Amino acid sequence: MTGHAPRQPSQHAHRAEEPGEMSSATDSEALAGLKDHVIVCGTGPTAQRIIAELEAFRTGAGMRRTSGAIPPREYVVVARMREDIDRLRRRYPHMHVLIGDPTEDEILAQAGVQRAYGVFAALADERDNLFITFTARHENPDVRIVARTTDVYGTEPKLKAAGANAVISPSFIGGLRLVSETVRPSVAAFLDEMLRGRDTDLGLVEVCVQRTSALAGRTLRELSLPARHGLHVVALHTRAATEYAYNPGPEARVQAGDTLVLFGARASIDRLAAEAGPAPQEEADG
Amino acid sequence: MHEPIRRRIIRATLLIGAVFVIGTAGFRYLLGLPFIEALYLTVITLTTVGYGDISPHADMPPGGNAYLVKLFTILLIIVGMGGFLYFLSIVTEYMVSGEMSRARRQGRMRRRIDGLRGHWILCGAGETALHMARELGNTARPFVLVDTDADRLRALADRLADLCYVHGDATQETTLARAGLERAAGVLLALPDDKDVLYALLALQERKRATGAVLRVAARTTDWQKTGPKLRAAGADVVIAPDGIAGRRMVSEMFRPSVTTFLDRMLRDTGTVLRVEEATVAPDSALCGVPLEQSRIRERTGLVIVAVRGPDGTFAYNPGPQQPLAPGDVLIAMGEMSQIVHLRRLAGAA
């Protein structure tokens, strides 16, 4: 399919009451005008959470810690059943909707997958998400695709192979979080502080060592980061190795292209990052 | 369709015992043999060994009734050999079917559960619970899995080494008692139905009130919008809605693709070796009253202590060498699991 034909009904869409139907005439125009938007496939609990987050972006409440670098984005929710859409729309009257089967090429095209920034494949059925991922990747090589799965061991590799940039399993991350907050509450509170940085100026940050950096080619003992900067080297990721080396010893040598994971005051880390090289550092996400 | 194999074994044993008693008594009476000879004759007859050193024919006493002896021997062989074969087949079945090893495993597991202290009771054996079981296992925390589906429990026991499980309904207090509730550190509820979770929470709440037990209770819900607050009100210390977390995380993955992967790996990956873990300083631990530097934790375990949390919940981040350690302090460390187990030993009772 080329371009977009919002008014043209899909020939193959099924299960929808009226395939490819917009909620109103203004919707079709709005959809055709969307660019760099996000497509949300599904209306289940996961998709509802995604929509709530997107709405928070839009209204400026945003995710905690989200910097101004992320502009609010328009989004369109694609779902098979009108009732599900209507229920959501009562809460979020501004959202764009498209009723139809998101596993259909035509429906994804109507949602503007060729011009979209990203696609959430958040249906309950694994195979549907696999199909959406595959189709979206085919239609738009640059679109960012985040897919949901319940089967970490079986479906996740397939979703990755089909072109998903990230795959999230509710049972996996939910189970881990549940255990974590129950059996190690202090760690959970600690990480929360580290990652959100509410009450503390400390952080856990990765710093990439540039070629021109003064750090390159020296051992940790020579750098003596704990003494000079009050920074702990939690891990060292050398370019040669695929794994992080945790709590590296004093003889470990830092090379250009290596990544240091540091824990300490953010100000110290900033100072060190300036030494490490000009590339901006990124903060890990919780 | 079969009655329990245990009962069949008992019956076969009784049957064969009766045959031997009757055989021995019969030969003794009919042939006038001493007890040991009569028993010997019975055994070699029933096992068809028949050495021929003693036989009903050769040892016929003078004036004995040969007709009666032969009739008795015929009956003994027919009934006795049938019983003997039956007995052998049942014992073979018991060993071959794995019932024996299963019974022994069950017995061992029950003793292991009875020996657990400060363990966690994980209710539900679905997809989420499986990941939870793995995480508990990976962090060296003992737990007992409770589920209503015996087949699924057995299948999991094959996949997870040394799994302790209890077959039963987690909303019933007797089931939790079998999992060692009175000695447990807490209960993690990951039942498929939110209503069961609520029921179990209220039962646990009642128990906590009645016995003053200290239990940490966590609940998984399938509905992050409506049920979550109810479960919290019902006494859950932790409430997690996997779908809600997943949605949040998907948004994060969507808009912050360049975010570094370190914490992801550390916190979420199954194959990761580095962990952020905690260890509480016990009142009689050797660490009590010792400044951090003198505790030599770094040298002894290789761990970095990134924070110390006091009993009041306040954090001392990036603690200096002079940071004193007191009972009830929680040490937060980053390192490998084996190092953390070492730290737990140091912080535990001396």
On chain A, the residues whose CB falls within 8 A of the CB of B142 are none
CA torsion A136-A139-A142-A145 (nearest 10°) is: 0
- Is the predicted pLDDT of residue A5 greater than 80, yes or no? no
**Which residues, including other chains, have CB under 8 Å from residue A8's CB and lie 6 or more apart?**
A20, A106
CA distance A142 to chain B (A): 13
| Interface contact A165-B253, CB threshold 8 A | yes
How high is the pLDDT of residue A286? 35
CB A201 within 8 A of CB B316: no
- A146 and B CB contact within 8 Å: yes
| Interface contact A46-B317, CB threshold 8 A | no
Nearest CA in chain A to B309: A186
**A67 — pLDDT class (breaks 50, 70, 90):** very low
On chain A, the residues whose CB falls within 8 A of the CB of B192 are none
**What ipTM was predicted for this assembly?**
0.71
Alpha helices in chain A (DSSP H): 25-33, 45-59, 82-91, 105-110, 126-139, 155-162, 170-183, 185-196, 220-223, 225-229, 266-276
The domain ranges of chain B are 5-96, 101-248, 262-347
How high is the pLDDT of residue A151? 80
CATH of domain A21-168: 3.40.50.720
Mean pLDDT of the region A108-128: 93
CATH class of B262-347: alpha beta
CB B265 within 8 A of CB A175: no
The domain ranges of chain A are 21-168, 201-279
Report the distance separating Cα A45 and Cα B280, nearest Å. 37
- B120 and A CB contact within 8 Å: yes
The partner residues of A39 in beta bridges, in order of sequence, read A76, A119
Find the CB nearest B246 among A173, A232, A244: A173
* A174 conformational bin, left if phi > 0, alpha if psi -120 to 50, beta if neither: alpha
Find the CB nearest B222 among A45, A179, A230: A45
Nearest CA in chain B to A121: B250
| Interface contact B253-A166, CB threshold 8 A | yes
B268 three-state secondary structure: helix
How high is the pLDDT of residue B189? 95
| Interface contact A48-B225, CB threshold 8 A | yes
Cβ within 8 Å of A, B 160-199 = 185-186, 188, 190
Quick one: what percent of chain A has pLDDT higher than 90? 24
How far does chain A reach from its first CA to its final CA, in angstroms?
A: 39
On chain A, the residues whose CB falls within 8 A of the CB of B243 are 44-46, 49, 170, 174
Which residue ranges of chain B lie beneath pLDDT 70?
A: 1-3, 256-274, 349-350
Closest to B249 in 3D by CA, of A38, A53, A117: A53
How high is the pLDDT of residue B262? 55
| Interface contact A47-B240, CB threshold 8 A | no
How far does chain B reach from its first CA to its final CA, in angstroms?
A: 56
Q: DSSP string of A64-81?
A: TT--TTS----EEEEES-
- Is the predicted pLDDT of residue A64 greater than 50, yes or no? no
Q: Largest Cα–Cα distance of chain B, in whole Å?
A: 107
Task: Compute CA B312 distance to the chain's CA centroid, rounded to the nearest angstrom.
Answer: 36
Report the distance separating Cα B270 and Cα B267, nearest Å. 9
**Cβ–Cβ pairs < 8 A, chains A and B:** 227
Report the distance separating Cα A136 and Cα A103, nearest Å. 9
- Extract the tokens encoding B49: 């060994």
CA torsion A37-A39-A44-A49 (nearest 10°) is: -20
**Alpha-carbon distances of B209 from A120, B186, B203, B236, rounded to whole Å:** 45, 15, 10, 14
On chain A, the residues whose CB falls within 8 A of the CB of B278 are 184, 186-187
| B218-256: pLDDT as tens digits | 999 988 778 888 999 999 999 999 988 888 888 878 876
CB A34 within 8 A of CB A74: yes
The partner residues of B305 in beta bridges, in order of sequence, read B333
Q: Which of B215, B227, B249 to mutate to test the interface with A (most CBs of A within 10 A)?
A: B249
How high is the pLDDT of residue A281? 40
How high is the pLDDT of residue B314? 83
- Extract the tokens encoding A1: 């399919």
- Is the predicted pLDDT of residue A119 greater than 90, yes or no? yes
B169 three-state secondary structure: coil
Amino acid at A188: A
Closest to B33 in 3D by CA, of B72, B5, B74, B6: B72
Total count of residues recorded for chain B: 350
Q: Domain B5-96, what architecture?
A: Orthogonal Bundle (1.10)
- Record: fold of B101-248: Rossmann fold (3.40.50)
CB B146 within 8 A of CB B168: yes
Phi, psi of A190 (to 5 degrees): -65, -50
Report the distance separating Cα A24 and Cα A45, nearest Å. 25
How high is the pLDDT of residue B176? 92
Report the distance separating Cα A159 and Cα A150, nearest Å. 12
| Interface contact A53-B240, CB threshold 8 A | no
CB A218 within 8 A of CB A253: yes
CA distance A11 to chain B (A): 31
- B307 and A CB contact within 8 Å: yes
Nearest CA in chain A to B217: A182
Q: Domain A201-279, what architecture?
A: 2-Layer Sandwich (3.30)
On chain B, the residues whose CB falls within 8 A of the CB of A53 are 247-248, 251
On chain A, the residues whose CB falls within 8 A of the CB of B257 are 144, 165-166
- B265 and A CB contact within 8 Å: yes
| Interface contact A178-B260, CB threshold 8 A | no
- A56 and B CB contact within 8 Å: no
On chain A, the residues whose CB falls within 8 A of the CB of B130 are 171, 175
| Interface contact B247-A202, CB threshold 8 A | no
- Is the predicted pLDDT of residue A43 greater than 60, yes or no? yes
* A100 conformational bin, left if phi > 0, alpha if psi -120 to 50, beta if neither: left
| Interface contact B260-A151, CB threshold 8 A | no
Element (H, E) at B248: helix B242-255
- B347 and A CB contact within 8 Å: no
Mean pLDDT of the region A243-258: 78
Closest to B72 in 3D by CA, of B30, B15, B34: B30
Mean pLDDT of the region A20-38: 70
Find the CB nearest B248 among A53, A189, A206: A53
Place of tokens 């603690």: B319
Cβ within 8 Å of B, A 74-113 = none
pTM: 0.70
Nearest CA in chain B to A193: B315
Report the distance separating Cα B101 and Cα B36, nearest Å. 36
- Is the predicted pLDDT of residue A2 greater than 90, yes or no? no
Report the distance separating Cα A229 and Cα A266, nearest Å. 11
> Mean pLDDT across chain A, nearest whole number?
77
| Interface contact A193-B315, CB threshold 8 A | yes
| A259-275: pLDDT as tens digits | 887 877 777 877 777 77
Closest to B218 in 3D by CA, of B203, B235, B202: B235
How high is the pLDDT of residue A56? 81
| Interface contact A174-B259, CB threshold 8 A | no
Q: Which of A41, A120, A179, A261 to mutate to test the interface with B (most CBs of B within 10 A)?
A: A179
- Extract the tokens encoding B106: 């069950």
Find the CB nearest B218 among A66, A182, A263: A182
Report the distance separating Cα A118 and Cα B88, nearest Å. 69
* A268 conformational bin, left if phi > 0, alpha if psi -120 to 50, beta if neither: alpha
**Which residues, including other chains, have CB under 8 Å from residue B23's CB and lie 6 or more apart?**
B38, B41, B42, B45, B46, B76, B80
CB B328 within 8 A of CB B308: no
